[in-house]
Amino acid sequence: MTHLIHRDLRCTPPAAVCAFGMQVRDKDGNTYLDASGGAAVSSLGHGHPDVLAAMQSQLKVAAYAHTSFFTTEVAEELGERLAQDAPGDLNYAYLVCGGSEAIEAALKLARQYFVEHGESERRVFIARRQSYHGNTLGALALGGNEYRRRHFEPLLMDVARVSPCFEYRERRPGQDVHEYTANLLQELEAKIIDLGPQHVIGFCAETVVGATSGAVPPTPGYFKGVRNLCDRYGILMIADEVMCGMGRTGTLYAIEQEGVVPDIVALGKGLGAGYQPIGAVIARDHIVQRLRSGSGVFQHGHTYVGHPVAAAAALAVQKVIRRDSLLGAVTVRGAAFKRMLREAFAMHPHVGDIRGRGMLLALELVQEREGKRPFDPDLHLHAVVKQACMDCGLMVYPMGGTIDGRRGDHVLLAPPFIATEADLQQIVARLADGLERAFARVR
Ligand code: PLP
């Protein structure tokens, strides 16, 4: 036991002493192949020389500058880069220190947008039932993950909920996918009307769902429909791209593949790729213009927002992604990876679905494939899988989601974009081994 508080208070995880490329080594000399980028973070792998060099030179220029006194060249350049590469007129960036902070800032920006217009009665956010948007109180309130919320329910603001877009679990057998999507959009519209559009601030969803359900892409036309409804009823569309953004699905912003422009996008994880804690909120012109011509102030801020070393790391990550054509690599290697997973697991009796986009993929684990019956939640299969894979020298990111009150388990795979074909083959081999050990442990 140590003096440090770990998430699991009954045990101390192995100490990482060296991380390089696709590998992490612990104090006891065990090495792990990083198939999840930690929690879908390390998109460039570990110890990338360009990022380290950029951070070092920024430390010499200015390690810290409080944003009430100064901006920095590096933060300005990052903002410009993020805006330039964003779709449509998502032209403004606000830099924070991680994903939850990005969501908090997005919620406050959205609320202030309406308050500045004299619409203070807008108080409600709509989000989806099976969702996760972060662990601070505002972000936790937004998310529908019952497991994470349960201790804090009385402290959380009210959020209206609609069904997730989760084809594997929620589309009825034989139901046409367009009909399924249309039903989801009807449900959202009914919710807006029921709440009264004049009370609604916005709708927030992950473009491709990460941890809660395991790499779930939207159905075709879903986000186009969401955008139309937001426009029709004058509410804001907020895309949570903390996990799926910054290239993980093959485009810098995952929403680019949906052909719509949200009003606000939240970023984290892959933005700093693990080299520094950094997140961002990207907002469209009309959002910022309203605040600028109103109070002139965004009523928000933390001591470390716009941190220059974090900005230097994130900027270097962006440059490497572009220079090394990593978005293309994510698309090509991601497709190859999915094929390998299908070859290895498509017939597996306990693998119900293999899904995802780019380098954000997942296997859904089921007790029985036909009925998609999840494993007994008391088995904590996801935790068993995680340990079994660690025993095989593999880092994956398994999770148990909440499905209609029952829990289902999936394994999220989010390897660094630099993974070679050989790395991916090695991941699949070790995963097969880890899964067999895990199933044997719960049988
Ligand atoms: N939003 C999504 C979709 C996430 O997956 C996460 C973290 O897993 C967050 C927000 C919160 O980010 P962070 O843990 O960096 O605060």
| CA–CA gap between residue 342 and residue 165 (Å, rounded) | 23
**Domain presence at residue 1:** no
Q: Which of 128, 145, 209, 243 to mutate to test the pocket of ligand 1 (most atoms within 8 A of CB)?
A: 243
| CA–CA gap between residue 47 and residue 194 (Å, rounded) | 51
Closest by CA position to 404, among listed 16, 130, 109 = 130
**Does 292 share its domain with 398?**
no
**Domain presence at residue 114:** yes
What six digits make up the tokens of 121?
């009665």
Residue 70's contacts (CB-CB under 8 Å, 6 or more residues apart) are: none
For residues 17 and 27, is the Cβ–Cβ distance under 8 A?
yes
For position 368, what pLDDT does the model report?
93
**Does 263 share its domain with 411?**
no
Ligand 1: which atom is nearest the Cα of residue 277?
Answer: 15
Cα atoms found within 13 Å of the Cα of residue 366, Cβ hemisphere only: 19
**Does 356 share its domain with 300?**
no
Ligand 1, atom 15: nearest CA belongs to which residue? 99
ipTM over 0.90 threshold: yes
Distance 134 CA to ligand 1 centre (A): 5
Ligand 1: which atom is nearest the Cα of residue 212?
Answer: 5
**Does 25 share its domain with 56?**
no
Q: Which of 269, 271, 397, 399 to mutate to test the pocket of ligand 1 (most atoms within 8 A of CB)?
A: 269
Domain stop point among 304, 324, 344: 324
For position 405, what pLDDT does the model report?
56
Angle at 427 between CA 422 and CA 429, to 5 degrees: 95
Distance 100 CA to ligand 1 centre (A): 6
Domain stop point among 303, 324, 345: 324
Ligand 1, atom 5: nearest CA belongs to which residue? 243
**Does 124 share its domain with 220?**
yes
**Does 280 share its domain with 245?**
yes
Cα atoms found within 13 Å of the Cα of residue 209, Cβ hemisphere only: 28
Number of domain units in the chain:
2
Distance 148 CA to ligand 1 centre (A): 12
What six digits make up the tokens of 214?
């395991």
**Domain presence at residue 55:** yes
For position 400, what pLDDT does the model report?
86
Ligand 1: which atom is nearest the Cα of residue 136?
Answer: 16
List the alpha helices (DSSP H) in 359-420: 381-391
**Domain presence at residue 211:** yes
pTM score of the predicted model: 0.98
Q: How far apart are the first and last CA of the chain?
A: 31
**Domain presence at residue 131:** yes
**Domain presence at residue 9:** no
Give, in order, the Cα–Cα distances in Å from 383 to each of 30, 224, 284, 392. 19, 36, 40, 14
Distance 179 CA to ligand 1 centre (A): 31
**Does 312 share its domain with 176?**
yes
Q: Which of 42, 43, 97, 100 to mutate to test the pocket of ligand 1 (most atoms within 8 A of CB)?
A: 100
Helices 326-345 + 421-442 axis angle, to 10: 40
What's the CATH number where 210 sits? Answer: 3.40.640.10
For position 305, what pLDDT does the model report?
97
Tens-binned pLDDT, residue by residue, of the chain (443 aa): 789 999 889 999 999 999 999 999 999 999 999 999 999 999 999 999 999 999 999 999 999 999 999 999 999 999 999 999 999 999 999 999 999 999 999 999 999 999 999 999 999 999 999 899 999 999 999 999 888 899 999 999 999 999 999 999 999 999 999 999 999 999 999 999 999 999 999 999 999 999 889 999 999 999 999 999 999 999 999 999 999 999 999 999 999 999 999 999 999 999 999 999 999 999 999 999 999 999 999 999 999 999 999 999 999 999 999 999 999 999 999 999 999 999 999 999 999 999 999 999 999 999 999 999 999 988 999 999 999 999 999 999 999 865 555 568 999 999 999 999 999 999 999 999 999 999 999 98
**Does 141 share its domain with 278?**
yes
Positions of E strands within 273-358: 279-283, 351-357
| Cα R_g (the chain), whole angstroms | 21
**Domain presence at residue 64:** yes
**Domain presence at residue 8:** no
**Does 315 share its domain with 329?**
no
Ligand 1: which atom is nearest the Cα of residue 100?
Answer: 16
**Does 94 share its domain with 39?**
no
Q: Which of 41, 133, 209, 271 to mutate to test the pocket of ligand 1 (most atoms within 8 A of CB)?
A: 133
For position 250, what pLDDT does the model report?
98
What's the CATH number where 21 sits? Answer: 3.90.1150.10
| Secondary structure (3-state) at 18 | strand
CA 180 to chain CA mean position, Å:
24
**Does 232 share its domain with 190?**
yes
Ligand 1: which atom is nearest the Cα of residue 279?
Answer: 15
Full strand arrangement of the beta sheet holding 394-395: 16-20, 23-26, 31-34, 394-395
Residues framing ligand 1 (Cβ under 6 A): 39, 98-100, 103, 132-134, 206, 210-211, 240, 242-243, 268
Residue-number span of the structural domain to which 195 is assigned:
49-324
| CA–CA gap between residue 55 and residue 111 (Å, rounded) | 35
**Does 308 share its domain with 335?**
no
Domain stop point among 324, 348, 372: 324
| CA–CA gap between residue 114 and residue 388 (Å, rounded) | 50
